[in-house]
Homo-oligomer: A and B are copies of this chain.
Amino acid sequence: MTIPGLQVDFDSAVPVYRQIAEGVRRALLAGRLAPGAKLPPTRDLSRALGVNRNTVVSAYELLAGEGLVASRTGKGTFLVAPRSGETHAEADDEGTRWPRPLDDTPWFTGFSRAVEGAGAGQLASIYTVAISSEGISFAGTFPDSELMPLDTFRRAMDEVIGEGAAEVLGYGPTPGYPPLRQTIAAEMRDKGSPVSSAGVLVTNGAQQAMDLVFRTLLDRGDSVVLEQPTYTGALSSLQSLGTRIVGVPCDEQGIRPDLLAVALERHRPRLVYLQPTFQNPTTAVMGEHRRREILALAARHRCVLVEDDWAGDLGFGDPRPPTLHALDGGRRVIYLSTFSKKLMPGLRLGWVVAPPPVMRRLEALKQIQDFGTSPLMQAALHRFLQAGGLAEHLRAVLPVYRRRRDAMLASLERDFPRGVHWTRPDGGLFLWVTLPARMNSNDLFVAARQRGVLFSRGELFHSDGSGRETLRLTYGGVTPERIESGISILGELLRKHWPAGSADTSGRPAETVPIL
């Protein structure tokens, strides 16, 4: 049982619930549904469309908020008849109940440049795909929620609330819960960084850490240099701030120093944003020599480095080289990381370490932005860390992630056609695939989604629309069985859409032209 004419486009930037509501409205206006008609029960419609029931509930609520439908207890949801002299299509912006049209209205059009820039809304749309629970998802970079250390964390949270300390129930210090800051600082000192707790600001995940750093250092029109491809969340934040983004190509060790030198010379950026360890999306790890080269370049150009170390603790084998922050002694490196990937995204806890002049401003902006991260959540995490919960969790989960990586590598070997290349990362949650130039990951995405398989299109990680021959496949949150069937479907689609010998088969794509 569905709505006549309703089609849901899962890859659209318009949320699914909104598409459903719009579909109902269109069906009414087009006469495909009569005023007074009963809508399908939410359970039935959600099954028919293959969406979560909550999505349908939200769609009906949206329509109820507009007065287009009404619920009758025990009977269901019905379309409301328009008032006389008024049709649903003829909403007057001034005089009648708002909101009538589901899309933009002339009501207000003056938005800031922060939200009107290219790509401002793109991240939300990508994220909707990434957190989708439909089918087999290799999109997103999520740890497996099945593996989360619930008992230890539950106990930690229970103790903290039970103690009822005013300092965790009330407003806390803006830069963070002091014992958590001390623990983070101590752990970073163990890894060779000269950090005191005063240099640590706790944030709502690494995304906020990064966005705060960018907002603190960058004005509209400033240049920023970063790896091409790079993390989509960084690109969206920088686009929203109106900065000039200069992407520098990478090799298997990350950003190329020769091209970085040219970019620094030509663009004189205010900062360089890098992920030296298990780079997202290419999985590249910079060797120590490369790290020192980058630091020397930054020093020569008096340039700030922002090191995003989201995956530093997610290595499977040999220890990684020291962080840029440790090698540099924190002089010109701002460091950020998160507990989302190594523990639980739902905590929304990350941090940034910066020299005092930067820290003072980060604190001021954090204060203005949200008064500080929940002290209760921070206290629970601190208690969990004190109980040794993180080390225990990593011991349990890293071998699982490694086995899943191996399962994905084996499946790729078996199912993907010749000419496709992929990385073999020694840590992290995903790997990076490069198709032959004749193939296209956007087309593959559309075909795969219809078969119930999701992944991240390479284009999303490029600031210039390139990267269509690449894609990212996350194994961390997927069981080996599902990895096997998902990769098998992708392999089948690749062979079907791009049969061997069709057009160019040269294998590797031409290198992207650097924006230099």
Contact = CB atoms under 8 A, between A and B. Distances in A.
- Top 3 nearest A-B pairs by Cβ distance? A65-B196, A98-B331, A145-B166
8 contacts: A21-B198, A64-B196, A97-B329, A124-B174, A148-B164, A237-B368, A346-B375, A376-B377
B98 A330 contact: yes
Contacts of A108: 302, 304, 332, 355, 357-358
A47 B375 CA distance: 25
Contacts of A237: 368
A211 interface: yes
Interface stretch (A32-40, A112-120, A391-399, A466-474): A112-120
Interface stretch (A154-162, A258-266, A280-288, A432-440): A154-162
Interface string A332-349: 100000001000111110
A367 B236 contact: yes
Nearest to A162: B154
Interface residues of A, number: 122
A515 interface: no
Contact of A236 (B57, B164, B368): B368
Q: Count identical subunits in the complex.
A: 2
Nearest to A165: B145
Interface in A284-298: none
A312 interface: no
A142 to B, nearest CB: 6
Interface string A103-129: 111011011111110001101100110
Interface string A233-251: 1001100100000000000
Interface of A: 17-18, 21, 54, 57-59, 61-67, 94, 97-99, 102-105, 107-108, 110-116, 120-121, 123-124, 127-128, 130-131, 133, 140, 142-143, 145-146, 148, 150, 153-154, 157-158, 161-162, 164, 166-174, 178-179, 182, 185, 194-199, 203-205, 207-208, 211, 215-219, 233, 236-237, 240, 270, 299, 302, 304, 329-332, 340, 344-348, 355-358, 360-361, 363-365, 367-377
Contacts of A332: 98, 107-108
Majority SS of interface residues in chain A?
Answer: helix
Given A115-B364, A178-B54, A370-B211, A170 B345 contact: yes
Given A110-B270, A346-B172, A367 B124 contact: yes
